[in-house]
C-alpha cells in the first residue's frame, strides 16, 4: 500500500482551513493531514471536532504549532515535519487575515495595518514555502497552493455588473476622510493581489521540478475573516465555508491539474 499523502495546511484550526481538513477526512482516500495552528490547544480542539464529525475517517490528523509571521516558529514547524514525515506532498498556504477594520476603528495606524496584512498574507507564505521546498521536492506529486481572494483581481475592479463587485468597487462621496463602509478591504485585497504574483513566481521557479502550483480563490465565504461575523457576511451574500473546503479538496485530488499557474475559482479561472 502506498504511503499516505502528507498535507500541511496553515490556519487549519478555523474557517476555511478547518473546512479543508474536514472535507479531506470525508473522502475515501487516507491522508496524513498536518493542521498548522498558532495555538496548539486550538489546533487539538479542531482535530477533536473533526474526529467527532467524521468518526469513520481513514485519514490521520496531527497538529503543528506555526505562526507564519515568526521565522523561528516556521523553522520549528518545518523541522517537526521533516523529522516526523521526511517529505510534504501538499502545502496549502491558507493562513491569512485582514486588518482593515482595525485601521478603520483607529486601533492600528495605516503603516501598522498594511505591514501586518502583507507580513501575514505574503511574507509568511514566502518564508514557509521557501523553507518547505526541500520537503516538497521529495514528493513524486507535489502540490503548492496559495489561498487568495476574489477581490484581488485587477481586471474586475472595473466591473460593476455583479452586486458584490458593485459594492466593493463603488466610489464614495467626495470629501475626506472616506467612509469605506461595513467591510473595508484595501490592505487585504492589495496584499492578495501581491500573493497572486508570488504564486506566478513559484510557478516559474518550479516549472522544471514537477511541482504543481496554483492560487486558490475559494469565493466569498462566511468565515471569521475581517472580524465582522459570519452572519453579517451571509447577509452580504457569503456562502457556506464548506463549499471552499470541498473546492480545495478537489484541487488536491487533481481536478484542476489542467489549470496550473492560474488563480482558480470553482467554475472558472479568475481574471488577473
Length, in residues, of the chain: 272
Strands (E), the chain: 5-9, 31-37, 60-65, 90-93, 143-147, 212-216, 263-264
* Residue 113 and residue 100 in contact, taking contact as beta carbons nearer than 8 Å: yes
31, 117, 187, 192: which one is catalytic?
192
CA-CA distances (angstroms) from residue 118 to 1, 11, 144, 191, 234?
A: 42, 16, 20, 5, 26
Say which DSSP state 84 is in. H
23, 31, 187, 188: which one is catalytic?
188
Grid cell listed for 23: 472535507
Q: Nearest CA to 11 among 75, 91, 76, 96?
A: 96
**Cα–Cα distance for residue pair 156/175, rounded to 1 Å:** 25
Catalytic residue status for 192: yes
Per the DSSP assignment, residues forming a β-bridge with 216 are: 147, 264
Catalytic residue status for 22: no
Helix then strand then coil, in percent of the chain rounded to 5, is: 45, 15, 40
Say which DSSP state 197 is in. H
CA-CA distances (angstroms) from residue 230 to 114, 226, 233?
A: 24, 10, 5
Catalytic residue status for 149: yes
73, 117, 149, 153: which one is catalytic?
149
**Cα–Cα distance for residue pair 118/131, rounded to 1 Å:** 19
Q: Nearest CA to 217 among 265, 153, 272?
A: 265
- Cβ neighbors of 205 (< 8 A, separation 6 or more) are none
Catalytic annotation, residues = 149, 188, 192
Amino acid at each position: 500500500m502506498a504511503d499516505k499523502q502528507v498535507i500541511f495546511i496553515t490556519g487549519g484550526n478555523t474557517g476555511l482551513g478547518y473546512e479543508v481538513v474536514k472535507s479531506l477526512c470525508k473522502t475515501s482516500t487516507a491522508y496524513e493531514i498536518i493542521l498548522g495552528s498558532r495555538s496548539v490547544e486550538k489546533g487539538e480542539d479542531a482535530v477533536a471536532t473533526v474526529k467527532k464529525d467524521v468518526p469513520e475517517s481513514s485519514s490521520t490528523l496531527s497538529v503543528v504549532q506555526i505562526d507564519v509571521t515568526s521565522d523561528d516558529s516556521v523553522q520549528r514547524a518545518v523541522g517537526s515535519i521533516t523529522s516526523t514525515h521526511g517529505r510534504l506532498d501538499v502545502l496549502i498556504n491558507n493562513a491569512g487575515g485582514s486588518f482593515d477594520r482595525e485601521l478603520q476603528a483607529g486601533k492600528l495606524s495605516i503603516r501598522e495595518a498594511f505591514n501586518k496584512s502583507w507580513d501575514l498574507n505574503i511574507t509568511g507564505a514566502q518564508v514557509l514555502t521557501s523553507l518547505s521546498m526541500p520537503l516538497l521536492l521529495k514528493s513524486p506529486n507535489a502540490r503548492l497552493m496559495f489561498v487568495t481572494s476574489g477581490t484581488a483581481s485587477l481586471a474586475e475592479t472595473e466591473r460593476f455588473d455583479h452586486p458584490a463587485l458593485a459594492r466593493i468597487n463603488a466610489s464614495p462621496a467626495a470629501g475626506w476622510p472616506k467612509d469605506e463602509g461595513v467591510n473595508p478591504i484595501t490592505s487585504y485585497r492589495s496584499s492578495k493581489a501581491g500573493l497572486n504574483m508570488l504564486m506566478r513566481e513559484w510557478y516559474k521557479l518550479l516549472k522544471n521540478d514537477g511541482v504543481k502550483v496554483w492560487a486558490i480563490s475559494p469565493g466569498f465565504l462566511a468565515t471569521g475573516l475581517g472580524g465582522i461575523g459570519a452572519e453579517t457576511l451571509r447577509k452580504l451574500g457569503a456562502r457556506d465555508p464548506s463549499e471552499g473546503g470541498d473546492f480545495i479538496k478537489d484541487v488536491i485530488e487533481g481536478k484542476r491539474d489542467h489549470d496550473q499557474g492560474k488563480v482558480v475559482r470553482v467554475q472558472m479561472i479568475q481574471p488577473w
